[in-house]
Amino acid sequence: MKRKVFCALCALALLACLLWVPAFAEETENFVYDNAGILSEDEMLQLNEAAKAVSLRYGCGVYITLFDDMADYGYRYIEPFAEEVYAQWSLGIGEENNAIILVMSMADRDYDLCAHGDVAHTAFTDYGKEVLAGGSRDLGMPGFLDDFRRDDWYEGFYNYISQCGYMLDCAEQGTPIDIPDYPVPEPRALTERIGMAAVPGVVIGIIIAFIYCAALKSKMKTARIARDAATYIASRGIWMQAEDDMFTHTTVTRQRIERDSGSRGGHGGTSVNSGGFSHSSGKF
Amino acid sequence: MPDQITNYKCPACGGPLNFSNTTQDLACDYCGSHFPVAQIEALYAQHDETAAAASEAQAAASAQQQAEGSEWELASQNNWAGDAQNLVAYNCPSCGAELICDQTTAASSCPYCGNPTIIPGQLHGMLKPDYVIPFKLDKNAAMNALRNHYKGKKLLPNSFSKENHIEEIKGVYVPFWLFDGEAYADLVFDATRTHVTETRNERITTTEHFKLHRAGNVPFEKIPVDGSSKMPDDHMDAIEPFDYSELKPFSNAYLPGFYADKYDVGMEESSARADERAAQTAKDAMRERCFGYETVTEAGGQVFLRRGKVHYALLPVWMLNTRWNGQNFLFTMNGQTGKLIGDLPVDKGKYWKYFGITAVIAAAAASAIIMMLLH
């Protein structure tokens, strides 16, 4: 239900954007750059129109830049590569060149969400960028990573642009998507701490005592059957006749790093580096 | 090897000669003279010539057969022949042990079950050992080793060490089959290497999978398997290894003063344990060659055994028997290296005392640490 409401809001926001007279129309026309060739011409046009509408409505460029392999440009890491893309292509709009850029390198399926400018940093907090990519069940927001993992590129980019619009709108209204400020909990009373520590402490004590006594008991038994004959290998030693190692395949598992939002009470906001950029990167 | 003369007499006075484990030579109980084993054997060597020639012919035939066959083959099949007349066989009616002693050794009780009534019998149907390792350590060394064995055993009942009187300590030459052979292992392993990278949002674990093929020959020399059904296998395995550099061609000269157990588990029956140990070692050796991986799992393959010669040897073991609370406790000591083993009783009261003390201390420490972590 939340997702449906959210999608309806996004659609309205996009419609409003398309009707709104852009203040930065003269500055740029291109918001989607597909150097990897994964989008059709129609998809490019539709996404570009949507991104342009959001960008001009909120004064913050919403960009999509796709590459075959960042290594072709001499980069091993996606974050500096994203900054280079921003600088080389002179992205961003407004006096501060505000921008949120989704940079993707298809070879190793790397992505980076790179933000620049006060408008972008306010709307796309560290937590907000995580939600933008991975979604949030609590907020009823879908992330684009789920779409990309199914190679559903158009749907993923559409979600990205829609959510950027929603997050810029929230920021404009003074309520950017960020970690709520939880109050710092009061120190626990000594009796409460004793009560909480006693049970696990006793369990740990019993386990340690069991291990220690098992070790003492094992010393009492010294007669044991021998299972091997390593002592009796002849002095001429082992003669190896084959030692072949063959690579068969690779498996990759991805585990999302869960961040305990409660424990980060009061530590929201956006981490901006010395170059004025903030990032959130990973694999899709 | 001298096969015919066994009842060695002192060249000086004609008294019986006994092997001394401290001086490693033959000593006369009557006049106190000492003679190297080789010297005494040389004196009697002329009596052996006929038997030695026959034995060599038999060994040559056996070696030829070995080269062609794939089953375990006895290195020699010498019998006692004329030596038997100077040995005495004893049977224990209680446990069935069959023992051999030199005529000069008084056998008073069974070293396995302690039964004081052992019956003289006939020595027959038994191979003569190829090798012997003489006793190097005496009874006092065995008692000292037992005292050391008790040390540091916190769960040992006080009454066991205090009331425990080893009534009899016996030096027994235990029959062992020593297996020579080779194992060829041809195995396949599954192996993995894992790399973990972390981005801001994800932990990515990349696992590379490999198939490893390892094949090789593992040669063995003298894997020992005891040929006595009365001697617990776990005791004999646990006092290994013996130093084979001190193996001597068998001579009756080493027997005086000790018991020699007659094997009652044949080479064929014992070979299963040698096969098992050789195969396991070959597998272990191949696995050890799979380095550079985080996990290695055997995925198939075979181990082939090329069975070789089997030697029959008598190896020195001190046996210490005691009873406590109606239970028998056996301690055995390697008569060459001094390694002593034997299971000890556990005092349940002490066990729970240590358990309680440890649990209280550990629980208090763990609780304190947890409390510090809880703000």
Q: Which of A201, A257, A279 comes nearest B370 by C-beta?
A: A201
Report which of residues B126 and B135 the model is more confident about: B135
- Residue ranges per structural domain of chain A: 2-181+268-283
CB B309 within 8 Å of CB B66: yes
- B155 neighbourhood in chain A, CB within 8 Å: 216-217, 219-220
In whole angstroms, how far apart are CA B236 and each of A226, B92, B275, B332?
A: 9, 21, 17, 8
The span from the CA of A163 to the CA of A140, in Å, is 11
A77 touches chain B (CB under 8 A): no
pTM of the model as a whole: 0.59
Whether A252 contacts chain B with CB within 8 A = yes
**B168: pLDDT strictly greater than 60:** yes
Spell out the residues 6+ positions from residue B339 whose beta carbon is closer than 8 angstroms to its own.
Answer: B238, B239, B333
Q: Which residues pair with A98 in a beta bridge?
A: A93
- A248/B contact by beta carbon, under 8 A: yes
Identify the three-state secondary structure at position A162.
helix
Phi, psi of A89 (to 5 degrees): -95, 5
Nearest-CA distance B182 → chain A (Å): 9
For A241, the closest chain B residue by CA position comes to B216
Task: Convert the pLDDT of each residue in B259-286 to its tens digit.
Answer: 888 888 888 999 999 999 999 999 999 9
Interface of B with A in 188-227 (CB under 8 A): 191, 198-224
Contact pairs from chain A to chain B, CB under 8 Å = 229
Percent of chain B with pLDDT over 90: 43
Paired tokens of B78: 């010498």
B154 and A216 in contact by Cβ < 8 A?
yes
Query: How confident is the model over B14-52, as pLDDT tens digits?
Result: 666 777 777 777 877 666 777 787 777 777 665 455 444
- pLDDT beyond 60 at A13: no
Question: Is residue B237 less than 8 Å (CB to CB) from chain A?
Answer: yes
pLDDT band per the 50, 70, 90 thresholds, residue B198: confident
> Which ranges constitute the DSSP H helices of A20-76?
41-58
Grouping H, G, I as helix, E, B as strand and the rest as coil, residue B265 is coil
Q: From the list A197, A208, A241, which residue is nearest B216 (CB)? A: A241
Between CA B119 and CA A263 the distance in angstroms is 84
The 10s digit of each residue's pLDDT in A120-178 is 999 999 889 988 998 888 788 888 888 888 889 999 999 999 999 999 999 999 888 88
User: What is the band of A26 on the pLDDT scale with cuts at 50, 70, 90?
Assistant: very low
What phi and psi, each to the nearest 5 degrees, are found at residue B253? -60, -20
Phi, psi of B340 (to 5 degrees): -115, 135
The whole-angstrom separation of Cα B366 and Cα B361 is: 9
Between CA A92 and CA A140, with CA A170 as vertex, the angle to 5 degrees is: 110
- In whole numbers, what is the pLDDT of chain B averaged over residues? 81
Q: What is the structure's pLDDT at B61?
A: 41
pLDDT at A96: 86
Would an 8 Å CB–CB cutoff place A206 in contact with chain B?
yes
Task: Give A-chain residues touching B205 at CB under 8 angstroms.
Answer: 252-255
Is residue B113 scored above 80 in pLDDT? no
Q: What is the dihedral of CA A222, A228, A234, A240, to 10 degrees?
A: -150
In the predicted model, what is the mean pLDDT of residues B246-265?
Answer: 84
Q: Which of B160, B184, B199, B309 to mutate to test the interface with A (most CBs of A within 10 A)?
A: B199
Cβ of A224 and B234 within 8 Å? Answer: yes
Beta-sheet strand order (sheet of B25-28)? B17-20, B25-28, B34-35
**If pLDDT is split at 50, 70 and 90, which confidence band does B62 have?**
very low
Amino acid at B213: H
Per-domain residue ranges of chain B: 17-344, 348-375
Q: Do A187 and B375 touch (CB under 8 A)?
A: yes
8 Å CB contact between B294 and B207: no
Long-range contacts of the stretch B161-166 (C-beta < 8 A, 24+)? B163/B324, B164/B322, B164/B324, B165/B322, B166/B320, B166/B321, B166/B322
* pLDDT single digits (tens) B301-346: 999 999 999 999 999 999 988 888 888 888 999 999 999 999 999 9
User: Average pLDDT in the A232-254 region?
Assistant: 90
Residues 6 or more apart whose Cβ sits within 8 Å of residue A212:
B354, B355, B358
Q: How confident is the model at residue B97 (pLDDT cuts 50, 70, 90)?
A: confident
* Contact indicator for A264, A179 with CB cutoff of 8 Å: yes
Inter-chain residue contact A253 with B200, CB threshold 8 Å: no
Tokens 């852009």 belong to which residue?
Answer: A22
Q: Residue holding tokens 């055995």? A: B332
Q: What share of chain A is helix, strand, coil (3-state, %, to 5)?
A: 45, 20, 35
CA neighbor of B177 nearest in space, from B207, B124, B222? B222
Average pLDDT across chain A, whole number: 84
* pLDDT at residue B224 in the model: 95
pLDDT (tens digit per residue) in A181-216: 666 667 778 888 888 889 999 999 999 999 999 999
Inter-chain CB proximity B354 and A212 less than 8 Å: yes
Percent of chain B past pLDDT 70, that is, above it, reads 79
Return the minimum-mean-pLDDT range out of A54-63, B10-19, B255-264: B10-19
Q: Give the residue among B270, B279, B274, B268 at the shortest CA–CA distance from B231.
A: B270
Query: What is the band of A260 on the pLDDT scale with cuts at 50, 70, 90?
Result: low
Average pLDDT of span A55-80: 91
What is d(CA B342, CA A182) in angstroms, rounded to the nearest whole number? 65
Coil vs helix vs strand at B143: helix
* Contact between chains at A256 and B277 (C-beta distance less than 8 A): no
Q: How many Cβ atoms sit within 10 Å of the Cβ of residue B292?
A: 10
The pLDDT of residue B250 is 86
Q: With an 8 Å Cβ cutoff, is A242 touching chain B? A: yes
Map tokens 């170059």 to a residue.
A275
DSSP state of B29: T
CATH topology assigned to domain A2-181+268-283: Diaminopimelate Epimerase; Chain A, domain 1 (3.10.310)
For residue B178, give every residue at least 6 positions away whose Cβ sits within 8 Å of its Cβ, in sequence order, or none.
Answer: B131, B222, B223, B224, B310, B311, B312, B313
Strand B340-341 to strand B17-20: parallel, antiparallel, or no bridges (unpaired)?
A: unpaired
**pLDDT above 50 (res A269):** yes
Preceding peptide of A142 cis, ω within 30°: no
Q: Is B124 exposed, middle or buried (0-12, 13-18, 19+ CB in 10 A)?
A: exposed
Q: Which residue of B has its CA nearest to A211?
A: B355
R_g over Cα of chain B: 27
CB atoms within 10 A of CB B159: 12
Q: CB of A137 within 8 Å of any CB in chain B?
A: no
The whole-number pLDDT of residue B65 equals: 37
Using a CB–CB cutoff of 8 Å, tell me whether A95 touches chain B.
no
Half-sphere exposure of A141 (CA within 13 A, CB side): 26
- Listed in sequence order, the residues at least 6 apart from B59 whose beta carbon sits closer than 8 Å to its beta carbon are B75, B76
In this structure, of B78-92, B303-317, B348-362, the range with the lowest mean pLDDT score is: B78-92
Between residues A49 and B104, which one has the greater pLDDT? A49
DSSP H or E run through B223: strand B202-226
Do A216 and B375 make contact, defined as CB atoms within 8 angstroms?
Answer: no
Structure tokens at A157: 């980019």
pLDDT score of A24: 39
B337-348 residues labelled b (16+ CB within 10 A) or e (exposed) = bbbbbbbbbbbe
More confident residue, A22 or B253: B253
Question: A93: which 2 tokens?
Answer: 């709009």
Model confidence pLDDT, tens digit, residues A95-129: 889 999 999 999 888 899 999 999 999 999 988 99
For residue B23, give the amino acid letter: T
pLDDT at A84 over 50: yes
Choose among A247, A252, A257: nearest Cβ to B206: A252
Q: Which residues contact B37 (CB under 8 A, 6 or more apart)?
A: B19, B24, B25, B26, B248, B251, B253, B254
SS3 content of chain B, % helix, strand, coil (to 5): 30, 35, 35
